[in-house]
Amino acid sequence: MTNSYEKIMKRTEWFREDRFGMFIHWGLYAIPGRGEWVKTTERMTNEEYSQYFDAFNPVDYDPKAWAKAAKAAGMKYVVLTAKHHDGFCLFDSQYTDYKSTNTQSGRDLVREYVDAIRAEGLKVGLYFTLIDWYHQDYPKYNDLHHPMRGNEAYKDEVIDFDNYLNYMHNQVEELVTNYGKLDILWFDFSYEQMTGEKWRAEELMAMVRQHQPDVVIDNRLETSGEAFGSIVSDQPSNYSGDFFSPEQLLPPEGITNSKGQPIPWELCITMNNNWGYNPRDKDYKSSKTLIHKLVECVSKNGNMLLNVGPDAKGVINEESMAILSDFSRWMNKNSESIYGCGKSSLLPKPEWGYYTQKGNTLYAHIFDQPIGPLAVAGLKKDQIRRASMLHDGSEVKVADAWTTKAFDSVTYLELGGVSHFTYPLPDAVNTVIKIELND
């Protein structure tokens, strides 16, 4: 089994078309509500953390509601944390007792999730971490992140790491065989010497590909998203994954490999500053900012995976739902400028916003109110077949204003009835003009 640029591009065809997905971080850590790293930031023992296992009872868990919210927001795929670093499984693994079916909830939460997501016609993704802060055979004392790092009690502990790897591989096999066709498998993450073959990655990938040849996989068997990994090299490794996964940072330009070919990538981003539920974190980005960032990703040939962290009862909080409904409002009118779109082959980034492009159609995303008509620098008047407002289809004329005479080489588009007047943009968040080009 070898990987190649061609295979990566083939597998990610739908993924690059869809552009926008929902990340869901949810597990026992929703109860303390201090983020999904709480066990290790507060250096809790398994015993201390077990209170959350005992209390876990998400009575309002309704993945159909999550799926509906994602779909309404224009998201095309969803990725749920089947298992996070704390080791707790939202699925009915036969290899551990540390799973949702053994809590008060008694349910295989992953099963209900995949059914609900598929029922809405969305693509199904599962996040699975390579790390495990519960398993007895995961490194502790010398590990960079383990809750028991530096704890003398574990200094001379002898572990059987291969036993852990067998366990981890077995669980991945359960996920790729028991839940039907998966569209995305989102591995988290490698660090220091814990990377690649340390995970027996070659073997792991061969097993996954045997069951799910088309599943799209991220690059974190090699990185934590802070580096590209071999996906950008001449010869991607078999576990290079299919896309680069920058986290909380939007790449300044699109990503290319050593031959200059574009590499699929996906920005994963939180709404506030936590992946897991944190009721005290009120530092939400505005929906305007997030909509702009989605456009920016697409304008650089990337995707955006926007996170929600449902609460301990299984509910996506009001702040997050409000952001999703703002996406819904904007995407309902403008999603054509997102799906199947990418970087413009014609024009560089304009001063007032971004371009996205699909074939012979250019989408001008106007973030900043222009004074007078809109300058479409670099495009000649006779290249434009027709221009219209994307949200309502109304015509947009090439401006013929006395004010633009001095800038004759620049094409201007009129935003209202009088070419030299300034009109408030119909959508203050992002007004999109669809520019259809002549061949």
Q: Which residues bind ligand GLC (CB under 6 A)?
A: 25, 36-37, 188-189, 224, 247, 268, 275
- Give 197 or 226: the residue with its C-beta nearer to ligand GLC: 226
By residue count, the chain amounts to 439
Do 212 and 154 form a contact (C-beta atoms < 8 A)? no
Return the number of the residue (268 or 396) whose C-beta is nearest ligand GLC.
268
The smaller minimum CB distance to ligand GLC, of residues 162 and 226, is found at 226
Nearer to ligand GLC, 268 or 295 (CB): 268
Considering the complex, what minimum distance in angstroms separates the CB of residue 175 from ligand GLC? 16
Nearer to ligand GLC, 224 or 317 (CB): 224
Residue 86 CB, nearest approach to ligand GLC (Å): 10
Closest approach, Cβ 52 to ligand GLC, in A, equals: 16
Least distance (Å) between residue 204 CB and ligand GLC = 18
Report in angstroms how near the CB of residue 25 gets to ligand GLC at its nearest: 6
Q: C-alpha angle with apex 214: 186 to 294, nearest 5 degrees?
A: 50
* Least distance CB 247 / ligand GLC (angstroms): 5
Q: Closest approach of Cβ 35 to ligand GLC, in Å?
A: 8
Shortest distance (Å) from residue 36 CB to ligand GLC? 5
Q: Report the distance separating Cα 345 and Cα 265, nearest Å.
A: 18
420 neighbors 401 (Cβ within 8 angstroms):
yes
Nearer to ligand GLC, 191 or 421 (CB): 191
Residue placing its CB nearer to ligand GLC in the complex, 246 or 372: 246
- Give 37 or 327: the residue with its C-beta nearer to ligand GLC: 37
What is the closest distance, in whole angstroms, from the C-beta atom of residue 381 to ligand GLC in the complex?
Answer: 45
**Which residue shows structure tokens 């109860």?**
31
Kindly tell me which of 224 and 404 has the beta carbon lying closer to ligand GLC: 224
